[in-house]
Structure 1
Amino acid sequence: MGRTRVFLAALAALSLALGVAGSAQAGVGLPTVVAHVPTQEKVVFITIDDGWNHDPEAARILLEKRVPVSLFLLPGATSYDTGYFTRLVEEGRASVENHTVSHPDLTTLDAVGKDAEVCGAGERIEADFGRAPKLLRPPYGAVDDEVRLAAKACGVKALVTWTHDFTTWGETPPTPRLQAGDIVLLHFTPTLAADLERALGAARAAGLRPAALMPHLKAAGLA
C-alpha cells in the first residue's frame, strides 16, 4: 500500500511538473489549504499543535469549558502519555488530527519522505486513538501542490494553516481582534493555559464562540 501511494503521488507530481494538467488546472481535485473558514456563524476555531507539554491546567480548561478543539499532534509527543489526550477526546470535545511524524518542512522532501511523514503519522494516530485523521497541518504552514498530492494519497481532506498565532514565543504577542471563521493556533507549551485563556477571551470580546472545525469545513465545501 505504501509503495502504491508513493508511486501515484510521484506520478501526479511529475504530471504537474511537466504541465500535463495545464496551468489553469494545477491543483484541481487536491485537498484545499484553509487559513480561514468562510461562515456566517459567529464562530472561531481553536487548534493546538505538537503535544510535547502535557499541562493539566490546559486540560482542565478544555474539559470544564467544553471547548471544541482540533489537536494537531506529533505521535512521538503523545506516546509517553497518550492518556492525557485520550481523556480530552473521550471526556471533552477534542479531535486528533495529523501534524506529521517529525515536523519537517514537507516541501523539502521527496515523495517517499512525504508519504512516510504524512501517512506514517496518520497510521500511528489511528492506532492510538481509533480514528484516522482527515485534516493535516503542514509544519510551518509550508505547502505546495506536491504536498497536497501526498496528503490526498494519505486520505487527507483539507490542509489547515491558521489565521492568528496566539502562542507565547518568548513574550506575549499582541492580541488580534478575531473575526468569524478565524482559525486560532496554539501549541502545547508551558504557557498553553494562559494562551488558551487569552484566545477564549478574545473570542468572547468579539462575540464569537469556539466551534468544531471539521463540520464547518464540510459545510463550506472545503473538506
Structure 2
Amino acid sequence: MSRIRGTLAALAALLLPLGMAAPAADAAGGAVAAPVLAPVYTHVDTEDPVLFITIDDGWGTESAAGARKLLIDRRVPASLFLLPGAYQRDMDYYRTLLAHSPARVENHTVSHRDMTTLTAAEQRAEICGARDQQLSAFGDSPQLFRPAGGQDHQWPYYNDDTRTAATACGAKAVVTWTHDLTTWGSWTPPTPELNRGDIVLLHMGPQLEGDLKRVLAAADAAGLRPARLREYAHAAR
C-alpha cells in the first residue's frame, strides 16, 4: 500500500510542473477517475458552409402552426431544446414536426432552473429527468444539453457541475449560442452577418415563423445551409 502511495506521489511531482493533473487517490490508495466534463459550444469550428438553428422552451405552439409548416417545407434540421412541461401540452405538434422534418428534440432541463444555483445532485436530477421524459415521449434520447438562463441573466448559465452532470446523463456536449435572434414583443434584434458554424437561438411562440424567415434569408445571403447540430457537436472537439 505504501508503495502505491509513493508511486502516486512521484507521478504528481512529475506532472505538476507540466500543468497536468495527477490521478487522485482514494482512501485505499487506488486511483480515482477525474469527472468527465462535456465540451461547451457557443460556435462550431467547421469548414462546411453551415449554421445551426436552435429553438428553445416549447411554449406557444397554438400560435406557431406557420413555423411548423416552414420547418417541414424547408426541411430545417432544427435542434429543439424543449421543456417536458411544454411539449407534453401539445404532443401532436411535436410528433408531427419530428415525423416530417429532420428536426430533433434535445435537453433543456425539467423545469428551466438556473443550473448555477443548484447542487451537483440537483443538476443531475434536472438533466437526467428531462432525458428520461423525452425518451418516454419520443423514443429518442437527447444528445445535446442547453442550460436554462438564470433569472438575473448573468453569463455563463453553467458550471463544471453542469458539464459533469450533462456527461453522466448522456449528453455529448453543452450548447449555448452565437446569436440570440428571438423577437421579444415589439423588439426584433438586428440580424448580423452570419458565419459558418454560428449557432442561432430562437424561441417557440407566435414570433417564431417571422424569426425563422429572417434567419433563413440571412443564411441564404451568406451562402450557408442549416445543419443538424448534434452531428457536428459530436465530431468537433
Q: Same fold (TM over 0.5)?
A: yes
Q: 2: CA distance between counterparts of 1:82 and 1:154? A: 23
The total of aligned residue pairs comes to: 201
Q: Structure 2 stretches of 5 or more lacking a match?
A: 1-15, 22-33, 150-155
Q: 2: CA distance between counterparts of 1:24 and 1:46? A: 37
Partner of 1:80, secondary structure, is coil
Matched with 1:10 is: none
- Of 148-157 and 40-49, more deviation after overlay is shown by 148-157
Matched with 1:117 is: 126
CA spacing shift, 1:24–1:161, aligned 2, 3 Å: farther
Q: 1: CA distance between counterparts of 2:107 and 2:115? A: 13
- Of 42-51 and 105-114, more deviation after overlay is shown by 105-114
- Of 181-190 and 134-143, more deviation after overlay is shown by 134-143
Q: Is the aligned partner of 1:157 residue 2:165? A: no
Residue 24 of structure 1: how far off its partner (Å): 5.4
Q: 2: CA distance between counterparts of 1:34 and 1:178? A: 16
CA spacing shift, 1:58–1:24, aligned 2, 3 Å: farther
Matched with 1:68 is: 77
Q: 1: CA distance between counterparts of 2:167 and 2:225? A: 31
Matched with 1:95 is: 104
Using the size of structure 1 for normalisation, the TM-score is 0.85
Aligned letter for 1:64? D
Q: 1: CA distance between counterparts of 2:20 and 2:212? A: 41
Using the size of structure 2 for normalisation, the TM-score is 0.80
Q: Is the aligned partner of 1:138 residue 2:147? A: yes
Matched with 1:42 is: 49
Q: Following TM superposition, where does structure 1 have runs of at least 4 consecutive aligned residues deviating by more than 3 angstroms?
A: 22-25
Pairwise CA RMSD of aligned residues? 1.9
Instruction: Compare CA radii of gyration and give the structure with the larger one.
Output: 2
Q: 1: CA distance between counterparts of 2:51 and 2:164? A: 28
Partner of 2:193, secondary structure, is coil
Residue 112 of structure 1: how far off its partner (Å): 2.7
Residue 51 of structure 1: how far off its partner (Å): 0.2
Q: Structure 1 stretches of 5 or more lacking a match?
A: 1-21
Aligned letter for 1:172? T
Q: 1: CA distance between counterparts of 2:80 and 2:20? A: 34
- Of 145-154 and 70-79, more deviation after overlay is shown by 145-154
Partner of 1:29, secondary structure, is coil
Matched with 1:198 is: 214
- Write the deviation string for residues 144-195 of structure 1: whole angstroms up to 9, x where unpaired: 1111111111111100000001101230111111000000000002200001
Q: Is the aligned partner of 1:172 residue 2:188? A: yes
Q: 1: CA distance between counterparts of 2:78 and 2:20? A: 36
Residue 29 of structure 1: how far off its partner (Å): 3.4
Q: Is the 8 A contact 2:172 2:233 kept in 1?
A: no
Percent of aligned pairs with the same amino acid: 53
Q: 2: CA distance between counterparts of 1:175 and 1:195? A: 10
CA spacing shift, 1:146–1:24, aligned 2, 3 Å: farther
Matched with 1:5 is: none
> In proportion to residue count, which structure has more helix?
1
Match of 2:200 among 173, 177, 184: 184
- The structure showing larger relative contact order (alpha-carbon pairs under 8 Å, at least 6 residues apart) is 1
- Write the deviation string for residues 79-127 of structure 1: whole angstroms up to 9, x where unpaired: 0111111111111111110000110111110123112211111100000
